């Protein structure tokens, strides 16, 4: 039997997959492509990319936390999953808006958003 917890857990895994994909596919290529000459700007670019990556992992872990509380503290779980859904929606809007060729990068977040909504449908 499918439960909200299962869908929320799946959403968290898709969000973590997004973070891993960014770690592997974006961090180094973006740094190499931009390659600032100034050492400070180079460190600043690395910091901004790492902070973005950290946010992807944090949101994924938050979704897993929401899954953990799905059966015992439903209000807390719903609040956490709402924030996670908002981050998914933000990604699904901004990526195609600013970098339309990167639209495939929204797929893990779109799947996560779908799983969150499906989990709420079982409550």
The per-residue pLDDT for range 58-104, each reduced to its tens digit, is 999 999 999 999 999 999 999 999 999 999 999 999 999 999 999 99
Distance of CA 108 to the CA centre of its chain: 8
Q: In which band, very low, low, confident or very high, does the pLDDT at 108 lie, cut at 50, 70 and 90?
A: very high
Contact (CB, 8 A) for 74 and 123: yes
Query: Quick one: residue 99, left, alpha or beta (phi over 0 = left, psi -120 to 50 = alpha)?
Result: beta
pTM of the model: 0.92
Q: In which band, very low, low, confident or very high, does the pLDDT at 1 lie, cut at 50, 70 and 90?
A: confident
**What tens digit of pLDDT does each residue of 13-57 get?**
999 999 999 999 999 999 999 999 999 999 999 999 999 999 999
């Amino acid at each position: 039997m499918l439960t909200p917890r299962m869908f929320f857990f799946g959403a968290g895994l898709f969000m973590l997959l997004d973070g891993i994909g960014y770690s592997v596919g974006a961090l180094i290529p973006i740094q190499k492509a931009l390659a600032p000459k100034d050492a400070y700007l180079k460190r600043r670019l690395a910091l901004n990319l790492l902070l973005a990556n950290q946010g992807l992992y944090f949101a994924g872990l938050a979704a897993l936390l929401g899954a953990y509380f799905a059966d015992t503290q439903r209000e807390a779980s719903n609040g956490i999953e709402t924030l996670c859904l908002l981050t998914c929606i933000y990604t699904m809007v901004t990526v195609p808006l600013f970098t339309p060729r990167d639209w495939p990068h929204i797929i893990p977040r779109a799947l996560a958003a779908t799983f969150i909504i499906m989990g709420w449908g079982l409550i």
